[in-house]
Amino acid sequence: MRQKVSCNTTVSRNLLNEAKLLNIRLSEVFEEALCKAVALKRKERWLEQNSEAISKHNESISKHGTFSEMIGQLDD
């Protein structure tokens, strides 16, 4: 199991009150939303860091086709 730590954050009082009335577990919602945000930022960073290689790869495929096309596996 992952080790949990406390953190402080601020949120609208009305929203917090409504969440409490609806028995919403704030820590679960926060952790799930944070996981999604971290995954999105990691993806964005990876795409940014690898955009040149991806462009070169796509250019090569446009010029030469895929390996399967070269060996005749994907004939039209």
For 35-74, b/e burial (b = at least 16 CB within 10 A) is eeeeeeeeeeeeeeeeeeeeeeeeeeeeeeeeeeeeeeee
pLDDT digits (tens, 9 = 90+) for 9-48: 999 999 999 999 999 999 999 999 999 999 999 999 999 9
Please give the model's pTM, rounded to 2 decimal places.
0.70
User: pLDDT tier at 64 (50, 70, 90 boundaries)?
Assistant: confident
Q: What integer is the mean pLDDT of 45-72? A: 91
